[in-house]
Amino acid sequence: MNLRRHNRLQRPPWLPSEMAVAPQLDPSAVPGPMRRRYALLINPFYRKDPNASFGKHVLTPTLALTATAAATPEHWELRYWDENLLQGPPPLEPFPEVVGITVHLTFADRAYELARWYRRWGAKVVLGGLHVLTAPAEAAEHADAIAIGEGVQLWPRILGDVDAGKLEPVYRGDYRKPYRDDPMPRRDLLPRDGFLTTSSVIATRGCHNRCGFCYLSTADLHMPYRLRDVEQVVAEIREDGQPYAVFIDNNLGSKPEYLRTLCQALRPLDIIWSAALTIDVTDDPTLVRDMALAGCTGVFVGFESLNLDNLADAGKRTPVPEDYARRVQILHDHGIQVNGSFVLGFDHDGPDVFEKTVEWIEANRLECATLHLLTPYPETPLFRQLEEQHRIVHRDWRLYDTAHVVFEPALMTAEELHAGYQWCYRRLFSQRSIWRRRPRDWRAAVPYFAMSYLYKRSNRIWHLLIRYRLTAHMWRPLIELSRRRHLKFRRRLAGRAVTGQPGTVVSAGV
């Protein structure tokens, strides 16, 4: 079987071209004079998976570029451009002296195309990001300079060298310096109406797990666990003034006592927030309670698999899958929705994994689920293992997006794995599944169904919402409704603690 041909980048007839094809660069365009000390930061276009929700791509902005922007010297002018907001290709006017482009393996080709575009007229192009770390020689061919490591510490050095006319080809940083020293991200550069919330926040860096399939296990990536001062995090959220914040930490709960202290500081803000956590946060239900009282309404949990052998192979430290359901209920009892992340295609997954996974998701009423095909990211233990076993089929990085099969599975064919992945999403996005997973508290039905239909069943119109900057207008009323509901829920939860009756609480259902 030609697996690459089987998984080639195809566009379903209903899929808008804006979600599948990068905006065209005008070959006849000619920029004006270069503006000195003007830098342009670009998040390149990436193809959207037609099986998953398009809404997730505009929930929050990328923090990598806004954090890097904050380190820009004061005498430099700066602009941010995200091609995924469907406003067309990055601008040529005014023409920048420096262009910084973040590179992920799935959109490396687009990043290199943009690099050629700007270098053609004399701009200095700087490439950074995880793919640059894993493939520096490849990236260097397309750039005047590459940044390997923490962009916040490298960016001011790079611009300083441009000023001095001595730009170096390679800049190396690390992740060992105190995280508290990083400046606050430049959210003023963002179109606030283009995202659900501009308050994408990071309080911790790293994770206590080092799963073999995760990009954090990349061979040359050494990211020790670092914490920001709680006061910094709270000040950042307060300054942005959004009713909803998303913590994009790999695992906000790696240090439970830090999370508890953070929750105590967030509680007076009366906002709602969500975060990625491992399910072992439920080891201590009092911590879950503190999260709820602080405004946590949703968590992204990497369950990864319901098969313990798969988890052991991946090196993931986690409670046994047989205990997942009880732990999900603890979160639900405290009004916290669960978005479960599952990886399909491990070596112990047979053709029955799809129905088993979906049935478990529905039986435990997970409000949302995110599915991934097992993907061997370059330089991870999984990649090296599959390469040694001659099971990696190709290195077309565009297909390494967790939506295409790029290796030979152990217990099923590639066709079965790909078809099963598509079936899971069709089932979970169906009206039947949305109904089966409805909250038990009838008062939570309206926000749950509104969220489900907007997030999961609106792919055919999302390109219009994004292009015409309607994302915030569609989401914000639901956010405010959820925030008000959760404030009432928190008062009930706090009252139960005072009366000594913690017990099972009514789900806030936000």
Alpha-carbon gap, residue 295 to 282, rounded angstroms: 17
pTM: 0.91
CB contact at 8 A, 335 and 292: yes
pLDDT average, residue stretch 471-477 = 92
Alpha-carbon gap, residue 284 to 279, rounded angstroms: 11
pLDDT average, residue stretch 20-30 = 92
Run of H or E residues at 77: strand 77-82
Q: Is the backbone of residue 397 left (phi > 0), alpha (psi -120 to 50) or beta?
A: alpha
pLDDT tens digit string along 327-360?
999 999 999 999 999 999 999 999 999 999 999 9
Q: What tokens does 500 get?
A: 């000594």
CB contact at 8 A, 16 and 458: no
Place of tokens 């313990």: 308
The pLDDT, as a whole number, for residue 57 is 92
CB contact at 8 A, 131 and 139: yes
Alpha-carbon gap, residue 242 to 483, rounded angstroms: 11
The pLDDT, as a whole number, for residue 418 is 97
Is 139 a residue whose pLDDT tops 60?
A: yes
pLDDT band for 210, please (50, 70, 90 cuts).
low
The pLDDT, as a whole number, for residue 316 is 84
Alpha-carbon gap, residue 58 to 56, rounded angstroms: 5
In whole numbers, what is the pLDDT of the chain averaged over residues?
A: 90
Amino acid identity for residue 304 in this structure: E
pLDDT band for 222, please (50, 70, 90 cuts).
low
Is 168 a residue whose pLDDT tops 60?
A: yes
Please give the share of the chain, as a percent, with pLDDT higher than 70.
Answer: 91
Domains and CATH numbers, the chain: 15-172 (3.40.50.280), 199-496 (3.80.30.20)
Alpha-carbon gap, residue 108 to 114, rounded angstroms: 10
